Chains A and B, each alone.
Chain A
Amino acid sequence: MYDDGNLLLLVASKNKLFSWPVDKVLSLNSPDEAESPTVSFLNEGPVISARFSLDGRILAVQRTATDVEFVNREDASEFWQRCRKGERLLGLFWVNTPECDCVFVTTGGLELYQLLPARNGVRAVDVKKHTVAWYTYTHETRLALLSSGATAPVRLAGYQFATSGVIRLPRFDLPSQASERNKRAVSITGKDVKLLTMYGRMYCAHVDLHAGLLVLYRFYRDALVRQHTYPLYSRHVDLSIVDQALVVHNIDSGVVLVLDVLSSSTHPLASPLPLALPPVIDHNDNTLEVEPYNSGWDFIGPDLLLDTQHGIFWRQQLDLGSLTHSCSDRCTLMSFLQRRREDGALPAGFSRPRQLSLNVVKTMIQDCDPLPVISRTFMVLCTAYEESRNQARSVQGSSEPNNFGESGLLPRSPAVSPEEMQRSVFEPLEEEMSSGGAYLLACVAEYIRCVDVTNLSCPASLSLLLVQLLQREDRLHQLNSWLPVLSRKSVSNTIAIEVAEISKLYKPSIQTVQDLLQNQQGQETYVRLLLREGRIVEALRYVRRHRVESVPPTIFLDAAKELGDPAIYTTVFRFCSEFVPNFANMADYPAYTRKLHGIIHRGPAPATQSRAHTSAARAAGL
């Protein structure tokens, strides 16, 4: 038995009830570590079902079709409660609402009871009258679904036992999707209907074997709405929810299909995969041969699996790596991966969603997937990153950013930042893809677009890669057209320096450098770039035209001195004495003047010298 309210695994023997907390059992590595279970002593007699109260202090045991025995575990006192006359008890569960603590489900409806303060009895609070053929309740949803009959269409009534009180859900007729002719004979039992919670949404899943469909109805406060319909491929199926994904066990064929309710596709995420069982070692260190989907299997809770035949208990986990390998729709896969948790405990050999996402997107580019698909995938990545960054911000508040490491994300998020994308995908690809540079360029441009659309900031390295690819693809003539992409205040200086290197091979791109360095700091960078290349007169002209005042005049003089061309030195000197205020009062003025005299004395005949003087000044456009 499984007590989902307290996550306990219960086993009743003659006069004892053993209980194991599920989490403890699952964290064991070998049966030898097994802790002894908690034992509760019971009176002798049949045990139909048992459930601990939510605080664990009282155990309710259904003994007959009408009677329940309550055992107070603190003082071992006990009391009995019988359901209303003429009804048969179908089950019971504990709840946590202001008015009631324990609910009996009988053929006549729900009976709500409250514990007496002395904990020595219960008091009937309310009765919700319904004809009940079967019911289903999960503690996860706090929802009891009561069915009036067992043939389609069945009328469902629902009650949610929220902490604020009991909420009654509207009635709903659950039809069968089978063809009109067969409809009358179709039975719907409790086994066909399962309450599921995925991504915080509540669903009622109807396994309609007659129609071969799995239909999901979503619970809203005021309605139950049919939302997803998936085809079934097996006569016997069981459902589990593993990490918010809907896992359909096809018992006949022994394979598993994984569905994602947030994906727009009705196709399973990947091709059918077998359920892998880790090796089971018994107490004598022998490996047990367990046949998957044997008759002793019981799917309990959202993701648990009990093999009563061999006495084994599992929790299911998604092998994202295998899913990734057998998935053909990589864009859907990417959004699925981005919805996984990054920080979950993983068995050895399992990959984390972030790494898988990076691998997938890299493979997509290597395989030259169509650009629209790539674009959608990038969009998924960027949106996921933006959302999880916002989440991280709202969690930590705006006061102390970057508490979550470099990425600024919550540890559970597998989102990929643009920097990481550049580092782990584009950069390695740039080296690997010797051909197909044009395609890679298209991908980079598209990624930048997605980054922009989602209001993220584009790292300088990405723009640099763009420039490198343009150069590699012999498309430098397009460089100037790319200005709107390259000129971002924070990055344009870095890029301009790179483009300046390129302009040695492709002259016209110097215009791009100038355009990139329009801002004040940029202008200084540009002047220094020109000086570094020995284009001193050009630098002077630029300084004069753009009124750059932040560059000290000595830099020009020093550069001219280094160049060793007397005409240029004279030009710079003359420029300085004409346009730099207080030039003659500068500390280094005498040194530069001496240098000038040195040049004149060493230089050619005075007549030629004076001509050089004027022609240089004219060349500078002064």
Chain B
Amino acid sequence: MADAGSRLALFLFDRSRPCREGCEEEKLISFFPSAASQDRRKGFIGLVEGLINFTSIFSPDKPCELMRAGRHRQILLQCEPEIWMVLIVGEDIASSEVRTGAIRQALKETYEAIVLLTGSLRNAITEDATLQRVRRNAAPIMSDMWARMTAPKRNPTNEFNLLTNSLSGREGMPLLPLPRSMFLSVQFIVNVLESAYGGNTVLNTMILFDHQLVWTGLPPSDARALYRFASRCLLPQQVASGSRSRARSSSMSAPPEPATAFGTPFRPGEWKAGSDGFLTATDPSPGEPRVPLIHSTNGTKYQLVVYHQEAITLLLLFKESAPEASSAAYRNQLSGMVDAHLRTLGPGLEEHFQAPNRWHVPGYRYLFVDRALSNVRHSPDSKVATLSKESLAVLGSLRSQLEELDALKGGISGWKRWPTHDPQEAGVIHPLVPLLKSILAHH
């Protein structure tokens, strides 16, 4: 596996699918690079299956999560029972500065995006045993991830570049407390929307101000995926108006292997704002419902309607069967109900979020993660960028150690060498001590 072609591969497969010996590639739902030969694919899948089979002898519930070889890592993520997403990445592409935990997080995000936009993989497999459907569901999102991983190294949108930031807060959403009166005003808006028309039309709401999460009523796992999706392509600054959108979408992320858009558009620029403030998908595929659907982890489907008012983004989750979601008259009535309130809320939120050092504690670089609620609080990226490369590396390795410690606590054993304590290392990370405290405290 030391040859050039094996340095990067991303694939998704269903381990439970029966297949004849020698035809293991039939288990694949998705494989990148797509130019890889049948044999290569078979080789990868065979190795990974071997690893899983072997480790599950010792730990049947949580088999292998990581295989670290001399010059590459294999990161395995069991997304759903027997459905695995695997990334094989060489040292030259993702150096040791990129934490395994961060890569695993990126894989998790990809999986969560697939579920959010197309529903559970296992369901798709059950509904269509030929795997056609699940392949179609996963392809665009997997290919988007692949495109970001293979972007030129110097490009800031290169996924591995982004992953070197150990304080990015990608683990959750920044839902931070608002002042009491503002929170109650937000509640009023949410409640007006959700109680409108008998209270059985808009089932859930998410509100963002710029990229800040203001309110979500969804359970954390769904909220996290939806927030990520919204902050990536539904915010006012990412929504192009009319014809410019296509050019912009291609410049933002040019998938080298274009996949046909399917279901809910998920790339920045694939939504455009109408004159009434509601967003529509720029290129709805023929035959698809006009209002995109999103799927919660418990299987509920919602129609997603997005409304902008200046910097405020409202995500309205309509009941799947509600015809009102696609009716312009109804939508306008709904927005009319809350417009005035949003307009008064806007300046308040702006003042709140833009107050100096609102989310940033000067002198510290930190990340706080509340895993149970998927809440994060972290230093702004611009402040993290002021850290020296060495500090970042120390931070990264520290987080790796914490993650491994976490894994140990979870009952998984591993062969690992515990690094010796180096006082100089502690000196470098001195300004980060509060961070360590909060992470440690959390663990």
Contacts and interface: CB of A to CB of B under 8 A. Distances in A.
Interface of A: 368, 370-372, 375, 436, 438-439, 441-442, 445-446, 448-449, 452-453, 475, 477-478, 480-485, 507-508, 511, 545
22 contacts: A368-B198, A370-B195, A370-B196, A371-B191, A372-B192, A375-B188, A438-B194, A438-B199, A445-B184, A445-B188, A445-B191, A446-B187, A449-B185, A449-B188, A453-B181, A481-B215, A484-B177, A484-B178, A484-B179, A484-B183, A485-B180, A545-B441
A375 B184 CA distance: 12
B175 interface: yes
Interface of B: 175, 177-181, 183-185, 187-188, 191-192, 194-196, 198-199, 215-220, 337, 370, 372-373, 375, 441
A199 to B, nearest CB: 30
A442 B187 CA distance: 8
Contacts of A480: 370, 373, 375
B184 A485 contact: yes
Given A448-B184, A484-B183, A545-B441, A438 B195 contact: yes
Main secondary structure of the interface of A (DSSP, over half): helix
**Among all A-B residue pairs, the 4 with the closest Cβ atoms:** A508-B372, A442-B191, A449-B184, A484-B180
A503 to B, nearest CB: 10
A452 B184 contact: yes
B195 A449 contact: no
Nearest to A375: B188
B361 to A, nearest CB: 17
Given A485-B184, A508-B372, A371 B195 contact: yes
A477 B219 contact: yes
Which of A438, A481, A485 has the most chain B CB within a 10 Å cutoff?
A: A481
A372 B188 CA distance: 9
B372 A446 contact: no
Contacts of B187: 442, 445-446, 449
A511 B183 CA distance: 19
A155 to B, nearest CB: 46
Contacts of A442: 187, 191, 194-195
A449 B190 CA distance: 13
A436 B184 CA distance: 20
A477 B179 contact: no
A157 B294 CA distance: 74
Contacts of B194: 438, 442
B175 A481 contact: yes
Contact of B337 (A372, A441, A449, A508): A372
B372 A368 contact: no
A446 B188 contact: yes
A495 to B, nearest CB: 14
Given A483-B177, A484-B183, A446 B191 contact: yes
Contacts of A441: 191
A441 B199 CA distance: 12
Nearest to B223: A477
Contacts of A477: 218-220, 373
Nearest to A369: B195
A439 B197 CA distance: 12
B373 A508 contact: yes
Nearest to A442: B191
B255 to A, nearest CB: 35
Given A436-B199, A442-B195, A449-B188, A478 B217 contact: yes
A575 B124 CA distance: 55
Contacts of B375: 480
Given A449-B184, A449-B185, 20 more contacts: A439-B199, A442-B187, A442-B191, A442-B195, A445-B184, A446-B187, A446-B191, A448-B184, A449-B188, A477-B218, A477-B373, A481-B175, A481-B177, A483-B177, A484-B178, A484-B183, A485-B184, A508-B370, A508-B373, A545-B441
Contacts of A545: 441
B188 A511 contact: no
A508 B372 CA distance: 5
Given A445-B184, A477-B373, A511-B372, A439 B195 contact: yes
Contacts of A478: 217
* Highest count of chain A CB atoms <10 Å: which of B179, B185, B372, B441: B372
Nearest to B218: A477
Contacts of B219: 477
Nearest to A477: B219
Contacts of A370: 195-196
A373 to B, nearest CB: 11
A507 B183 CA distance: 24
A452 B187 CA distance: 14
Contacts of A438: 194-195, 199
A3 B112 CA distance: 85
